[in-house]
């Protein structure tokens, strides 16, 4: 299978995996934030009652969780495609 065809065939798989990663990362962030802060919701950046530290900590944590989950899902998807097709998807 050519590299271009292989890459095009992986696009829909990657898209579905990316959406799943976003949902998983959001749920994971919510659970971790509830445990760490004792608050049910992460701070909204424009909430006047929340301080800079809390807003920036929540944003940093959310970004880190999303990046790790996305990388793990992308890598797992690529390994799965290689197992099924014998070719790396990119």
Tell me the per-residue pLDDT of 33-88, one tens digit each, with 9 for 90 and over: 999 888 888 999 999 999 999 999 999 999 999 999 999 998 998 898 889 888 88
Domain tally, the chain:
1
- Whether residue 11 is predicted with pLDDT greater than 60 in this model: the reply is yes
Tokens describing residue 79: 């390994």
Question: Rounded to an integer, what distance in angstroms lies between the CA atom of residue 4 and that of residue 1?
Answer: 8
Residue 36 lies in a domain: yes
Instruction: Indicate the pTM of the whole model.
Output: 0.81
C-alpha 67: how far from chain center: 5
Residue 39 lies in a domain: yes
Domain hosting 78: range is: 3-85
Residue 90 lies in a domain: no
């Amino acid at each position: 299978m050519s590299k271009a065809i292989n890459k095009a065939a992986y696009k829909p798989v990657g898209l579905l995996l990316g959406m799943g990663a976003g949902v998983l990362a959001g749920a994971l962030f919510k659970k971790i934030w509830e445990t760490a802060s004792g608050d049910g919701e992460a701070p909204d950046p424009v909430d006047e009652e929340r301080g800079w530290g809390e807003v920036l900590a929540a944003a940093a944590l959310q970004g880190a969780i999303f990046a790790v989950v996305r990388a793990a899902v992308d890598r797992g998807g690529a390994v799965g495609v290689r197992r099924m097709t014998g070719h790396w998807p990119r």
